[in-house]
Structure 1
């Protein structure tokens, strides 16, 4: 296992997180209980953030409505895996949501139109764990 700062990403890691795999988002509630759910996500290596599109009625959005939470997002494919750790927040800002939908469409496919219900979760990544083959 490798432990990386967000500034230490590699071409192999960036390629892996551009492939069409789902991840598991885990949010840690203030009382310590986790909430985990499968998600499509996009790694923004330039800004060192993970973006997840969702909608206002999802539990993950409701958990983030009033506060930021610590979270992880993990992706695995055979022996290759990565986990991003950081602080998560949610927004309905139309520009941020539009950008996230475009990124999602490039990695996965065109998502369902959620209109004003669209939300974007942003994780500001402070640590990355990965399989050795994705590390420097």
Structure 2
């Protein structure tokens, strides 16, 4: 397990434009795993995922405030998992911050559907291999 702040090689890996899986938990306790794009803010220790409030992942987190989520980015034999308490925000400054970071990482803005929100994961556990 790694501690924050992360080594430069890990920060560099988290800046590459890969997809990751996001795991949240449904109200019945079963895992919900989906592919997402995300951003990493090493200074704040936050991972961000843009989505809509009606998505299953957002609804899972709203239904259980303070619940945990995990993001796992894989590229070949390199992987990193970021875990922590996740919160869904709809306030414009937080959503705008998520959009700016997403646009910088993936070189194009995220979709802008009605009900857009940002999931912020306060990362407190990091695991990885070959970074």
* Alignment TM-score, normalising by the size of structure 2: 0.92
Aligned length: 129
- Alpha-carbon distance between aligned partners in 2 of 1:28 and 1:110, rounded to the nearest angstrom: 28
Rate the CA distance shift 1:30–1:70 in 2: closer, same or farther, 3 A.
Answer: farther
Structure 2 unaligned residues grouped into runs of 5+: none
**What's the CA shift for 1:31?**
4.3
Alignment partner of 2:56 out of 56, 59, 66: 59
Q: Which has the higher contact order (CA 8 A, sep 6+)?
A: 1
Name 1:87's counterpart in structure 2.
Answer: 85
1:34 aligns with 2:31: yes
Name 1:69's counterpart in structure 2.
Answer: 67
Alpha-carbon RMSD: 1.3
**What's the CA shift for 1:57?**
1.5
Task: Judge conservation of contact 1:27–1:36 (CA < 8 Å) in 2.
Answer: yes
1:18 aligns with 2:33: no
Q: SS at 1:13's partner residue?
A: helix
**What's the CA shift for 1:113?**
1.7
**What's the CA shift for 1:68?**
2.7
**What's the CA shift for 1:30?**
5.5
Structure 1 unaligned residues grouped into runs of 5+: none
